[in-house]
Structure 1
Amino acid sequence: MDEMTESPLPLVGAERPTLKTIAAATGLAIATVSRALKDAPDIGEETKRRVRETALRLGYRQNRAAVRLRTGKTNVIALLLSTESDVMNHTSKLLYSIADALRGTAYHLVVMPFFRDQDPMDPVRYIVETESADGIILNQTKPDDPRIRYLAEHHIPFATHGRTDMGFEHPYFDYDNETFGRLAVQALAERQRRHVYIIAPPRNHMYARHMIMGASQEAAARGMRFELAEGVTSDSSADDIETAVAQRFSDTAPDAIIAGSTTSAIAAVAGAERAGLQIGKNLDVVSKEAIRLLHRFRKEMIVVQEDVGRAGSFLARALIAAIEGRAPDEGQALEVPQASDFRTGN
């Protein structure tokens, strides 16, 4: 039976386009149209393109309820995101890249937020118990992450932006924050800085462990003082970070800051400047970013690009492979920064 669909701008009295409608418009068999829309490997790319363009022109949309009844699948991928994430930079790029990777596939993206005062397990349990998605992408992983253990125990396909330390393999894409921390300290040492102050991610996150380890070990090897920000993390509000930095840098201040996110870097610069310091003169700041912004804010900052677009695309492909029960081209990947990537805007 054809899956009935709704046009984005339905006309009164107009028939809703079906697979049969697309077949008639393209001169292809209904079965061929159906398989082309599902990205079947035995259908040629030119045929897929023609079918998708015709479907778009006609306003065809799959009826998810019909798909679920027939196949047991929702064709939905859920992205779990903390509301404390770096929305203006990191998260927006991740969202775009995942959505872009799903274009032309049978899958649709939904975003499930969770809040500071909420159990992170709540949205995971909801998706699993209601069977509202075929697979899940999540980030801000913990070394022993109960969300991942739960998904593995319930045999739900998932992929993570970040690694774990749980003793079993799973699809992930990660940025090498240990190398980032080490190279950030090296860049500061080259500028004769001696006291590093780091605004790290929340300590229970895996990437915080990596970043702190790399930076602290490199600082110790170079005889530099290493200090973790107290009371704030890179996920704290900009106001809290600015206030904490302004207070800490008001007397006997460190001469270098490593910020774990774009938002925390901007807030840290604002706080340091409130305390009377000048970036590039008596203070250097290192941060990473997903969207080019920081050098427009202060060109003296030392910035490295994190390819979150690559991460989102990789995670989408790896998760689709897991959902469909086939081996991915790659199941795990690590982006490793290089010393030459750390640049000022001068």
Structure 2
Amino acid sequence: MGSIDKEVETEFLPFFRVYKDGSVERLLGSPFVPPSLEDPETGVSSKDITISQNPPISARLFLPKHTQPNQRLPILVYFHGGAFCIESAFSSDHHQYLNSLVSQGQVVAVSVEYRLAPEHSLPIAYEDSWAALQWVASHSNNNGTVEKEPWLASHGNFKRFFTGGDSAGANIAHNVTMRAGVEGLHGGVRILGAFLTHPLFLGSKPNGSQNSSVEDENLSPSSFWDYLYPGAPGGIDNQVINPVVPGAPSLAGLGCSRLLVSVAEKDGLRDRGVCYYNAVKESGWKGEAELVEVEGEDHAFQLLHFGSENSKNLIKRLASFLLK
């Protein structure tokens, strides 16, 4: 204590503190848990894999209990939330949530461990997530250029390919799905559906309830965003965080056929989620969009109050989206 190098350089409460010696202390987030061969609650098996050594990208894979050995299951590429700076594919809350979703939705899920800010400023999280999505899609062809992950190669149905995420992860899911619409995925894989749960979108202009959940004296959304993504063109109105800003690419280019946006009534990000949903519908996008609003709940309740009635109902709703 008291040593000069442990002086605080900057902090964004309640998320993290950065010290003058360069170390980062994360103040929120659930503990890491190991994967399990067969979860006692759901029967889902999980394992951790390396997607890429350079850049370092890993993932936790989930496989539901299935009866037929060669059964082909839909594939979900999932991006965890945590404001781009906390949480993990290996954290306990996302692990139990995905066990439940994978069991009910009967999908093979790839929960991506992208690198976090502030050590790795944005857009690194987007680049890692795009590389992971392309890696999963590359399993669709049999050209033998990549070493195949057996759970994907043996059980994945690349005709039923989904992206999804919560909060910052929902923002990532939106951005990689837009990019897939422009650049395409390996093997010509097409994204059937994307689900965005409590998506983290921001902007300089107030939007209904405004971001009350992130508006306090410690944390202005604009200064927080500028710290996570220094030099982002347009700042908090950059298209990746404000996809409805004038001049952003048309949402008609969203690279999926089905979209499910879910919002929570008391979430300060609710109105931006609704605005995004309406903008997609009005863009000329040719897919099928639906909006789910849960009354009386706040941001990320499905993780923070896992096991509650509303959490169970939302997971069931997302599972039916994957099964449809």
TM (normalized to structure 2)?
A: 0.33
Larger Rg: 1
Structure number with higher strand proportion: 2
Structure number with higher helix proportion: 1
TM (normalized to structure 1)?
A: 0.32
